[in-house]
């Protein structure tokens, strides 16, 4: 186990911020960061329930000094019910997303044209991401510490082959006021592209994709810093997801 991974485990146990991977090594590359992420995930011995894409928008990538989206693991103990009040120590960010549930194990690369056929369903989701870093967040630090994975909320599910997954209007509201809004197809070049990219990238690193895994394709509409109060993710006719931060 590397010193970096041990330091991350120690930080997780005491709820302290994670160290900076980029500042601790001269081998600060994307590939090396994913090696540390995989080791950190395995060392935690938590049940993996799915995976998430992050930094899918170019402005977010530029802000983090990286040239592509990143990904991380969703743990089963991060699942939270609609209506729950969620504590976010140190603060985090909120995102409205879509999550696709795998209908089968996937071991080989997929294409955007056929990727939806491998899904059991799609569901509306909220992600509560928590970078929890000692230094100003960077893309490499985000990768190495599992892409700010913290909590997620699943809402109603629907058939992605019967609903146009790129035409869903989404908004986040705080105390009845709209914080941001967006269209699902604005993620990367569309949901199919984002989903195929996530699957193929996970396979490249060495993660196992199993039936039942949830695959979150990235933020729809923007992100908002957490603050105490009541929120609602509005997914139009697909439903909504109420929750609170406090």
pLDDT of residue 135: 78
Looking up tokens 């510490």, which residue turns up? Answer: 145
User: What's the pLDDT band for 119 if we cut at 50, 70, 90?
Assistant: very high
pTM score, whole prediction? 0.95
Looking up tokens 């491998």, which residue turns up? Answer: 118
Q: Where are the domains of the chain?
A: 3-245
Strands 70-75 and 48-54: antiparallel
User: What's the pLDDT band for 64 if we cut at 50, 70, 90?
Assistant: confident
User: For 200-231, what is each residue's pLDDT tens digit?
Assistant: 999 999 999 999 999 999 999 999 999 999 99
Of the ranges 55-69, 142-156, 228-242, which one carries the lowest mean pLDDT score?
A: 55-69
Count of residues for the chain?
246
HEC assignment per residue over 149-216: CCEEEEEEEECCCCCCCCCCEEEEEECCEEEEEEEHHHCCCCHHHHHHHHHHHHHHHCCCECCCCEEE
Percent with pLDDT over 90 in the chain: 89
Residues 6+ apart with CB under 8 A from 60: 223
* Burial label, 213 (beta-carbon count in 10 A; 0-12, 13-18, 19+): buried
Q: What is the mean pLDDT of the chain?
A: 95
User: What's the pLDDT band for 1 if we cut at 50, 70, 90?
Assistant: confident
Percent with pLDDT over 70 in the chain: 100
pLDDT of residue 123: 98
User: For 10-57, what is each residue's pLDDT tens digit?
Assistant: 999 988 999 999 887 777 899 999 999 999 999 999 999 999 999 998
User: For 121-160, what is each residue's pLDDT tens digit?
Assistant: 999 999 999 999 987 878 999 999 999 999 999 999 999 9
Neighbours of 242 (CB within 10 A): 16
At the top level of CATH, which class does the domain 3-245 belong to? alpha beta
């Amino acid at each position: 186990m590397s010193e970096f991974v041990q330091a991350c485990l120690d930080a997780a146990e005491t709820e302290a911020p994670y160290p900076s991977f980029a500042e601790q090594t001269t081998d600060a590359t994307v590939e090396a960061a994913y090696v540390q992420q995989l080791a950190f995930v395995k060392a935690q011995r938590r049940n993996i329930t799915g995976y998430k894409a992050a930094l899918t928008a170019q402005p977010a990538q530029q802000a983090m000094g990286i040239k592509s989206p990143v990904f991380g693991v969703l743990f089963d103990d991060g699942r939270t019910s609609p209506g729950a009040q969620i504590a976010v120590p140190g603060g985090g960010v909120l995102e409205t997303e879509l999550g696709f549930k795998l209908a089968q194990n996937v071991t080989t690369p997929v294409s955007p044209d056929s990727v939806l056929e491998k899904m059991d369903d799609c569901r509306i989701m909220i992600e509560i991401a928590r970078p929890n870093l000692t230094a100003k967040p960077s893309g490499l630090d985000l990768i190495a510490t599992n892409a700010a994975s913290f909590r997620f909320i699943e809402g109603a599910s629907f058939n992605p082959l019967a609903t146009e997954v790129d035409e869903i209007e989404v908004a986040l509201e705080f105390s009845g006021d709209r914080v941001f809004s967006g269209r699902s197809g604005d993620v990367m070049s569309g949901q199919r592209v984002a989903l195929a990219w996530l699957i193929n990238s996970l396979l490249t690193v060495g993660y196992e994709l199993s039936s039942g895994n949830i695959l979150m394709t990235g933020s729809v509409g923007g992100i908002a810093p957490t603050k105490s109060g009541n929120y609602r993710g509005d997914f139009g006719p697909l439903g909504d997801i109420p929750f609170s931060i406090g």
